[in-house]
Amino acid sequence: MAFGATRSSADRKAQMTSNTSPTFSTLGRSPSIGPPAYTTDDLLAARYQKFSKWVHLMRVAIAAITLVASIAVIACVGASLRAYSNSRLEPEWILPLWPLHVDLRPSHAVLGCGIAVALLSLAYLAVASVPMRQRLHNTNLVSTILSSLCLCVALFTIIFASIVTNNLAYSTYSGTLNSWTCRWHGFDDVAPSNFTKICNDGMAALDLVIVLVLVEVLALGATAWGWWVEMRLKKGGVGAAKSEVELV
């Protein structure tokens, strides 16, 4: 009996030693920790942070498209004005190619629109690429101002050019670059060779200005989305449930 009791006590000591001493398989391991608990507000904040990145990328893409379109407007109008300057003859010539009074105001307005929109687009791209505090708020403010200016400039250009061109559409003594050159459409045999190109360039420039209007409307929509995301971030998901969830 004494031998059995001694053996059982020795077994218990060995078992305790084996339970308390670290084994090779457990060395170097940290105790297991469960996934951290996040509230619904934290998840909503992370979601709106992702939305803010999407807003930033969308507005940068829109500004890049606007810049490319405005450069195309400048190129088209510049080509038309250069062709007019090269083919314009003085009134003393017997067969002038152009009427006595060519109203260049619509072409100059479209050219100014392209330059203004290009500069404003470059300004937004410069602001968006600069690291700053409160990026979302600052870019929302800049985007609102610049997009509104671009939209107003493009709308004014379309209205002004359309009014002037329509008023001179049927005049035989004056006209605009578009109204005079496009009047010869279909008479390629007797029309000067560069009139078709001038007409196409002028119409392409006006079409691109219309595209700029549509793009700026989209830019204002993206700006409104940015303001909404900023408002939700400031509120911190007010109204959401306060239950805890786990982010796995």
User: What are the pLDDT digits (tens) for 185-197?
Assistant: 766 665 677 788 8
240: left (phi over 0), alpha (psi -120 to 50) or beta: beta
| Domain boundaries, given as residue ranges, for the chain | 41-88+100-235
Q: Is the pLDDT of residue 221 over 70?
A: yes
For the segment 30-57, the average pLDDT, to the nearest whole number, is 60
Calculate mean pLDDT across residues 119-138. Answer: 86
> pTM for this structure?
0.71
Mean pLDDT of 44-53: 64
Average pLDDT, the chain: 76
Cα distance between residue 201 and residue 230, in whole Å: 42
| Contact yes or no for 103/164 (Cβ under 8 A) | yes
Q: Which carries the bigger pLDDT value, residue 123 or residue 21?
A: 123
pLDDT at 73: 96
